[in-house]
Amino acid sequence: MKIALRDRFPELKVETTKGSIQLPGDYAGKWFILFSHPADFTPVCTTEFVSFQKKMKQFNDLGVELIGLSVDSLESHHQWIQWIKDNIHVQIEFPVIDDEKRVVAETLGLIHPNEDETVAVRAVIIVDHNGKVRTILEYPKEIGRNIDEILRTAKALKMASIKKVFAPANWPHNEIIGDKVLFHREKGEDKTSDKECGIYSLADWFEYKNVNEND
């Protein structure tokens, strides 16, 4: 990868199955997830595209847009999308970037020198409303992504950004604190109303509380 967490996503004008898009500018004020796949007309990628589409409303309800990418042409993308519609009966509605010249893949570092250099790696880049990279995930070609985990990550990141809290392992099903979240207390903060506020403590450095995701 040529980008890192907290970097600003590079300015890129891309052609997609839904028209021209300026990244990250056209998504100002919104979060988006760019996910690259090795190639069109491949089985693992097909299962991922269908899964992303079936979860698309849940992403959109969070204020998160989806964008696909591979080093294939628009013509190939459209043909593959049509194949998915005809054979799996799912209409892919999110844009897919034409990167036949590999400009986007090279800019982001999605062509892995130790892998097949003719395809993009299976990567996920989550970008926030300020155009900052918040998560980078990379998978081997042999394993399809868990779209529920990507949705969970986006949900946890947005919650953390808005409420200034931290999601524990396996949130919202953590083995210690369940669906509660961790937080850092301000030094000297009054603790007398903790119980009424749903605040708990295992130690001065391990404090957690209830959170309403819909607030």
CATH number at 40 reads: 3.40.30.10
pLDDT at 188: 67
Q: What is the CATH number for 200?
A: 3.30.1020.10
Distance CA 18, CA 201 (A): 50
pLDDT of residue 1: 81
Domain count, the chain: 2
Domain residues for 178?
Answer: 164-215
- Say if residue 182 is in the same domain as residue 213: yes
- 109 and 182 assigned to the same domain: no
The yes-or-no answer on residue 197 being catalytic is no
Q: Which of 112, 145, 178 is the last residue of a domain?
A: 145
Taking the alpha carbons at both ends of the chain, their separation in whole angstroms is 35
State the pLDDT at residue 186: 77
pLDDT of residue 212: 73
Q: Running along the chain, 215 residues long, what does each successive block of 10 average in pLDDT?
A: 94 98 96 95 96 98 97 97 98 97 93 70 95 95 94 96 95 96 83 84 93 63
Catalytic residue among 45, 67, 92, 133: 45
